[in-house]
Amino acid sequence: MKKSVQHRALDGAHWVRVIVAGMIMTCGMTTPGHADDASDSNADSQKIFSLSGFGTVGLTHSSLRTVDYTNNIFQAQGAGASSQYNFTDTTKIGTQINAQFTNQLSAVVQIISQETYNNSYMPTLEWANIKYAFTPDLSVRIGRIALPSFLSADYRNVGYANPWLHTPIETYNLLPVTNSDGVDASYKLHFGGVDNTVQMLYGSTSTNAPGPFKVTADNIFGVFDTVEKGALTVRAGYEQSKVTFGPFPVQALSFYNLGAIYDPGNWFVQGEWTRSKVGLLLPGYSAWYTMAGYRIQKFTPYVVYSKEVSLNGTTLFSNSDNGETDYSVGVRWDLYKNMDLKVQYDRVTTPANSAGSFSNLQTGYVFGSSANVISAVLDFVF
């Protein structure tokens, strides 16, 4: 690794200081004895800044008591071996501050509190960036930015914005890191009723995994293309980086994604395919899912089929994840404005030589075991 975590591009705390300084410089400072100026400044500040938030309160139960079922591989525990009924796996709360200084200059800060690798709910800085729009179609951001790795990357943490109870873990866990400290640029083209947005990014990131190791990704480079026409959205992306995991040598990561959504109104379909390889740390995986749902007044029943297969590459250490399959069925109920209730059943199956994405394997666990998982969440935004 060329740079240590401490000496990489600016960390999240620094970006907060940069953004706050930018807010002060842009808004200006009032001087004593100018009450009218101060009043005008307060009114302008109210127009400049907006505050919003989101949250999820959830409960998960797994029939398999010899392992844990989690929605995120960076979580320390889940439903099953740790607890028959888990209240932390899907529970989270977040807040976001948006600032629109001028027609060209804006900023955003998002903070999320959810279960982490050490069983804590310590708030983390998810986004903190400044954006400058040179034109309505060309913009650049600098700071902590959402990694646009998947179709729902910008809102994957906001349960209310998603039709399902949780993202398909077989696909989304192939790149569980959600942000990067660096810079990105996007340019939108318009032709024949089609919008085509090209995005490029460069940065670095790090996060803690359960156990004594830190996962660090440097020299992240990504290019993404999103095509939108009416109810159809098609998206393709590629990422590469240099990954360090604990004491192991630096490994090259490559990541490919292709996805599409068609949502004409009452019904919708969605699917993604992903391929990920991380040098000798993992055997490499290919994963995909398909989803369909139908809106009936306040209710939206849906089904999801998700599958992960191992590429069987050579690894530096033994690997227990050799693939899994998930059959899901659920329903969303929009019971109030800005609030929904979701219930989902997952049937998770693994091949005979695999523990899939299950964690915290206990004595007595048998490879190839299956689990019946039932989850319920209350999502809200404010």
Taking the alpha carbons at both ends of the chain, their separation in whole angstroms is: 42
Which carries the bigger pLDDT value, residue 210 or residue 190?
A: 190
More confident residue, 23 or 187: 187
Question: Would strands 49-62 and 85-86 be described as parallel, antiparallel, or unpaired?
Answer: antiparallel
CA–CA distance, 41 with 57 (Å, rounded to integer): 38
Q: Are 1 and 242 in contact (CB under 8 A)?
A: yes
The whole-chain average pLDDT of the chain stands at: 88
Distance CA 65, CA 44 (A): 56
Mean pLDDT over residues 288-313, rounded? 97
Contact residues for 92 (Cβ-Cβ < 8 A; gap 6+): 55, 56, 112, 113, 114, 115, 157, 159
Which uninterrupted H or E stretch holds 218? strand 214-229
Q: CA-CA distance, 325 to 99, in Å (whole number)?
A: 43
Res. 44 pLDDT band, cuts 50 70 90: low
| Residue 351 token pair | 């091949």
pLDDT of amino acid 270 = 98
Q: What is the pLDDT of residue 2?
A: 38
Q: What is the pLDDT of residue 318?
A: 85
* Centroid of chain to Cα 146: 8
From residue 206, how far is each of 83, 126, 148, 235 by CA, in Å?
Answer: 29, 12, 16, 26
Asked whether residue 129 carries a pLDDT value surpassing 80, the answer given is yes
Query: What three-state secondary structure class fits 278?
Result: strand
Query: What is the spatial distance between Cα 136 and Cα 195, in angstroms, rounded to a whole number?
Result: 13
Strand, coil or helix: what is 154?
Answer: helix
In this prediction, residue 161 carries a pLDDT of 96
DSSP codes, 8-66: SS--HHHHHHHHHHHHHHHH----TT-HHHHHHHHHHHHHHEEEEEEEEEEEEEES-TT
Could you report the per-residue pLDDT of 202-223, keeping only the tens digit for each? 999 998 877 667 889 999 999 9
pLDDT tens digit sequence for 320-358: 999 999 999 999 999 999 999 999 999 999 999 999 999
Task: Tell me the residue ranges of DSSP E strands in 230-338.
Answer: 232-245, 251-262, 267-278, 285-294, 299-310, 323-336
Domains of the chain: total: 1
CATH at 266: 2.40.160.10
- At 46, the pLDDT band (50, 70, 90 cuts) reads low
Reported confidence tier of residue 23, pLDDT bands at 50, 70, 90: very low
Q: Is the dihedral of CA 121, 156, 184, 5 positive or negative?
A: positive
Residue 45 — very low, low, confident or very high, per pLDDT cuts 50/70/90? low
Tokens describing residue 357: 């994405």
Res. 16: pLDDT tops 70: no
With cut-offs at 50, 70 and 90, classify the pLDDT of residue 4.
Answer: very low
Q: Which of 218, 222, 236, 157 is nearest to 185 (CA)?
A: 222
Q: Tally DSSP H helices, then E strands, for the chain.
A: 3, 19
* pTM of the predicted protein model: 0.85
Q: Stretch 182-191: mean pLDDT, rounded?
A: 97
Place of tokens 């989101």: 54
- Please state the rounded mean pLDDT for residues 242-262: 93
- What is the DSSP code (8-state) at residue 356? T
Give the per-residue pLDDT at 42.
Answer: 55
Q: 98 is in which domain, residue-wise?
A: 5-381
Residue 53, pLDDT > 60, answer yes
**Who wins on pLDDT, 17 or 182?**
182
